[in-house]
């Protein structure tokens, strides 16, 4: 953590630019370009994310909690923005023409432990735990003691019974609200904290303002990311090897189009 408060007089002036749907398309195009240019880095960070998902699924099965795999898998992408810090750094260095090597990129990632970005980790993980807690609460309210011991039986219960469908509907609404809050607070703040020495509260407020002032394009960006992440989860999280790096690079380029610092 930073031991001294940030000097407010040295903080950059942040201006939010209007965004169009063309900016969203361009951000993904640039993100795909960065992934193709530096595929080893993208696959490395994507593999960390994918292996984390597989590990959680294996542990839930080992401890006889397979019914938690689906909600955890759905909520797992919530921590994606924090995992993507290394991808932001690659895009930043590419944009500035700086050398890109494993030592430089990983050193910058680890350096974030001493900066404001570390506080954002608490925000992200806190919302993720709220997601897990509310799922368990809704299960207790709607399914009671009927929770089966296998994943197949749980899916059947949720999809074929009135209680299960009601649980699914309420859980979807609550999950959508949490995902929207997290997306709004992090989509711009994460790359901003990497790029400038601002405090995490300022970064979150800037991210929220960006979404509020550009609701259409930002909503479209979020829905595309959510859709890609959902598809990537289906083949045992392996789709995240591609989706995470492309989304991470694209987020950086969207941030660069959305924010002007002076």
pLDDT for position 137: 87
Whether residue 69 has pLDDT greater than 90? no
- The average pLDDT across 50-56 equals 80
pTM score > 0.75 for this model?
yes
- The average pLDDT across 87-114 equals 89
Domain boundaries, the chain: 20-257
Reduce the DSSP state of residue 255 to 3 states and report it: helix
Whether residue 5 has pLDDT greater than 80? no
- Dihedral of CA atoms 85, 87, 89, 95 in degrees, nearest 10, equals -150
- The average pLDDT across 47-67 equals 77
Residue 125, H or E segment: helix 117-142
**193, 200 in Cβ contact below 8 A?**
yes
Average pLDDT, the chain: 85
- Poorest-pLDDT segment among 2-16, 96-110, 151-165: 2-16
């Amino acid at each position: 953590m930073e031991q001294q408060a940030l000097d407010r007089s040295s903080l950059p002036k942040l201006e939010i630019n209007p965004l169009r749907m063309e900016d969203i398309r361009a951000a993904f195009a640039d993100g795909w370009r960065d992934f193709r240019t530096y595929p080893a880095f993208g696959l490395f960070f994507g593999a960390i994310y994918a292996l984390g998902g597989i590990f959680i699924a294996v542990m839930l099965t080992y401890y006889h909690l397979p019914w938690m795999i689906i909600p955890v898998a759905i909520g797992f992408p919530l921590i994606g923005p924090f995992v993507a810090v290394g991808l932001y750094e690659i895009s930043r260095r590419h944009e500035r023409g700086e050398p890109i090597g494993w030592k430089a990129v990983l050193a910058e990632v680890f350096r974030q432990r001493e900066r404001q970005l570390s506080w954002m980790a608490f925000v992200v993980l806190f919302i993720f735990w709220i997601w897990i807690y509310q799922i368990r609460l809704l299960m207790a309210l709607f399914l009671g003691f009927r929770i089966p011991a296998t994943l197949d039986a749980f899916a059947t219960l949720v999809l074929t019974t009135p209680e299960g469908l009601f649980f699914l509907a309420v859980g979807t609404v609550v999950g959508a609200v949490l995902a929207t809050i997290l997306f709004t607070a992090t989509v711009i703040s994460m790359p901003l904290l990497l790029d400038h020495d601002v405090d995490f509260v300022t970064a979150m407020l800037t991210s929220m303002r960006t979404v509020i002032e550009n609701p259409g394009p930002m909503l479209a960006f979020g829905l595309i990311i959510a859709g890609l992440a959902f598809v990537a989860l289906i083949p045992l999280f392996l789709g995240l090897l591609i989706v995470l790096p492309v989304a991470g690079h694209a987020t950086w380029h969207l941030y660069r189009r959305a924010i002007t610092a002076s």
